[in-house]
Amino acid sequence: MTVNRLMLVGMQKQRCVCRNELPKDQLEPWLRRQLLSNGFPQVVIDAVASSAQYTKDLCKMEEDFSHTPDGQSNLYKYALWIQERDAAHVLVAFICSNATFQSARIIEDWSPTIMEPIFHDQEEHEEVVVDGLFGSYRQPRAVMRRRQIGERPTRTPIYRHQVMSPADGNAIKEYMEYHACLDALAMG
């Protein structure tokens, strides 16, 4: 299964592979800067950065899929290694990948057919009694009235809520992991 077959709308891919030795108090800001500079969404940045707080030695791997009602999806996975070098410094390495996309809305079924009225504005003339200087008199006046001129059948689509299958999610994960690993190998 290829990722292109899924026809994901507006798919953006982010990958980041980094290693560094830095002061402990700079770890979280450094991680946030690295992810932000690579275009990661805030939900991913917060997940990775929160893992790096108050840790002496850490080896953590995590993944998540989030989907909002408006169709925005994030599928991310990261691995984070932190090792204390001395009282003030840590050695850190991490690899992170994310796919952000709009899930397509798929029509699953249609609501029952209902008849919807069709209206049209029509100009009509009516006589009205107007009081004038020399007494009351009748005067024709144009009036716009909305009239029902017919009906038409309408059906409303019912969209599928579960748009992606587990196999689709796995295909995206494998694709992103493969490219993140290639980036890690290229680092040397």
Note the pLDDT of residue 21: 92
Rounded to 5 degrees, φ, ψ at 106 are: -110, 130
Note the pLDDT of residue 102: 74
Angle between helices 27-37 and 42-51 (to 10 degrees): 160
**DSSP collapsed to 3 states, the chain:** CCCHHHCCEEEEEEEEEEEEEEEHHHHHHHHHHHHHHCCCCHHHHHHHHHHCCCCCCEEEEEEEEEECCCCEEEEEEEEEEEEECCCCEEEEEEEEEEEEEECCCCEEEECCCEEEEEEEEEEEEEEEEEEECCEEEEEEEEEEEEEEEEEEEECCEEECCCCCCHHHHHHHHHHHHHHHHHHHHHHC
According to DSSP, the β-strands at 89-102 and 9-23 are: antiparallel
For residue 132, list its beta bridge partners.
135
Q: Is this structure's pTM higher than 0.85? A: no
User: Does residue 79 contact residue 47 with C-beta atoms inside 8 Å?
Assistant: no
Written as tens digits, the pLDDT of the chain (188 aa) is: 455 555 566 778 888 888 999 998 898 999 999 999 998 888 888 888 888 776 678 888 888 877 766 677 788 888 888 898 888 899 999 889 888 877 655 566 777 878 888 888 888 888 888 888 888 888 888 888 888 888 888 777 676 655 566 677 777 777 777 777 777 777 66
Which amino acid is residue 8, in one-letter code?
L
